[in-house]
Amino acid sequence: LHSPAETYGLGVEWGEQAGPGWVFGLIGELGAGKTQLVKGLAEGLGFTGRVHSPTFALVNEYRQGRLPLFHVDLYRLETPEAIQRAGLEEYLFSPAGVTAVEWFEHLAGLVPAPQGGNDSGPIPRGRLRRVLLETLSETERRLSYEDIGA
């Protein structure tokens, strides 16, 4: 992905394709483009409002689109136990819409190797698209993903 616009555009495509129960698990360092991708997802689902990282609220709900989009940020919740205590499971496993999760690796409590290694993380009952964003330069990102589950 050579620009923020390209990352956004891929998000739009995915948002147009997404069905109920889909979870996008986003893994990538600060500034990798996770929120940028979610902005595209929201647009692809038909949401026209403002999209920003829910760092303080834990989850933002964007509801005016074709399906609700739940935007979760696990930056401050570093263990699966903390995530459970925060009551986020309904968003992470078979959501009643589409969920995008920033800092998805916190769910497994493991930082996976760049190629994915042996850790595919927990598997939700719906479809999980596990997305890795790597920063190559100021404007370039390498995105890889795998689909897990139904």
| Least Cβ distance, residue 92 to ligand ATP (angstroms) | 17
Residue 120: name its binding partner from Mg ion, ligand ATP, none (Cβ under 5 to 8 Å by kind): none
Q: Contact with ligand ATP (CB under 6 A): which of 21, 34, 83, 88? A: 34
**Residue of 22, 23, 36, 121 that binds ligand ATP (CB under 6 A):** 36
Under DSSP, is residue 23 helix (H, G, I), strand (E, B) or coil? strand
Of 65-124, binders to Mg ion (CB under 5 A) are 102
Two tokens, residue 104: 């998805």
Does residue 31 belong to the site contacting ligand ATP (CB under 6 A)? yes
Q: CB nearer to Mg ion: give 34 or 127.
A: 34
Of the candidates 4, 6, 12, 53, which one interacts with Mg ion according to CB under 5 A?
Answer: 53
Which amino acid, 23?
V
Q: Give me the residues paired with residue 27 across strands.
A: 132
Quick one: 6 or 119, whose CB is closer to ligand ATP? 6
* Rounded distance between C-alpha atoms, residue 6 and residue 100, angstroms: 18
117: left (phi over 0), alpha (psi -120 to 50) or beta: left
- Can you tell me which of 7, 35, 60, 94 binds Mg ion, judged by CB under 5 A? 35
Torsion of CA 111, 105, 126, 149, to 10 degrees: -10
Query: How many residues are there in the chain?
Result: 150
Q: Taking a C-beta distance cutoff of 8 angstroms, is the pair 48, 64 a contact?
A: yes
Which residues would be at the binding site for Mg ion (CB under 5 A)?
A: 34-35, 53, 102
Contact positions vs ligand ATP (CB under 6 A): 1, 3-4, 6-7, 28, 30-36, 53, 102, 139-141
